């Protein structure tokens, strides 16, 4: 198997005797996150970064995180970004006599009732790519990203699916209850943040 792009980046950095010392998620502007990758020259004798050789470069957070994982480097997120991205759900506990199988059934029913707003955008994007209308495809991808980052119900659906697949049934039940509360009390425009 050929190396993936981030593996190639790691290999290049190692060949020129640099390593990722840390990454920072620094800012969000118009729903676009920004990151910095900190690199330092590695001392041949010690294998450690040399003092005074650190540089930092602008990067997409996904690339920065991928490199940090490959180098085992620390990752930092500014408090402002963490606070802005935090999800605040009610602390309503699941019904005490609700079994795991009842939670699974109920959450699956809730998930089945959700109409994913990204499905049509994905189909339109696929068609645009097939017809080589790449600007339209890019526009559809932006719409998908917008839905995924602004639609509270969609974020709850993703969180419910994750909790269910990981066996975190009480969390899945709390997310289900929050989903039901939000979908019952707010028009669609108000569910986007």
Query: Domains of the chain (ranges plus CATH)?
Result: 5-89 (3.10.690.10), 100-185 (no CATH)
Does position 191 have pLDDT exceeding 60, yes or no? no
- 39-43, 57-61, 80-84, 134-138: range with lowest mean pLDDT: 80-84
For residue 190, the model assigns a pLDDT of: 43
What would the mean pLDDT of 148-176 be, rounded to a whole number? 84
- pTM of the predicted model as reported, rounded to 2 decimal places: 0.47
Does position 87 have pLDDT exceeding 90, yes or no? no
Using H for helix, E for strand and C for coil, what is the string for 132-186? CCHHHHHHHHHHHHHHHHHEHHHHHHHHHHHHHHCCCHHHHHHHHHHHHHHHHHC
Does position 188 have pLDDT exceeding 60, yes or no? no
């Amino acid at each position: 198997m050929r190396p993936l792009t981030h593996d190639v980046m790691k290999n290049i950095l190692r060949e020129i005797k640099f390593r990722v010392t840390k990454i920072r998620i620094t800012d969000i502007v118009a729903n676009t996150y920004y990151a910095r990758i900190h690199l330092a020259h590695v001392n041949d004798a010690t294998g450690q970064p040399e003092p005074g050789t650190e540089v930092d470069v602008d990067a997409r957070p996904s690339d920065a995180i991928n490199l940090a994982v490959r180098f085992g480097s620390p990752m930092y997120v500014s408090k402002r970004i963490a606070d802005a991205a935090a999800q605040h759900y009610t602390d309503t506990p699941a019904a005490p006599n609700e079994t795991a199988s009842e939670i699974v059934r109920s959450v699956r029913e809730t998930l089945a009732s959700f109409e994913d707003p990204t499905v049509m955008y994905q189909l339109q994007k696929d068609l645009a790519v097939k017809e080589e209308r790449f600007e339209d495809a890019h526009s559809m991808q932006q719409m998908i990203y917008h839905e995924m980052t602004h639609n509270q119900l969609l974020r709850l659906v993703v969180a419910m699916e994750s909790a269910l697949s990981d066996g975190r049934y009480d969390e899945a039940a709390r997310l289900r209850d929050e989903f039901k509360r939000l979908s019952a009390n707010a028009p669609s425009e108000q569910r986007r943040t």
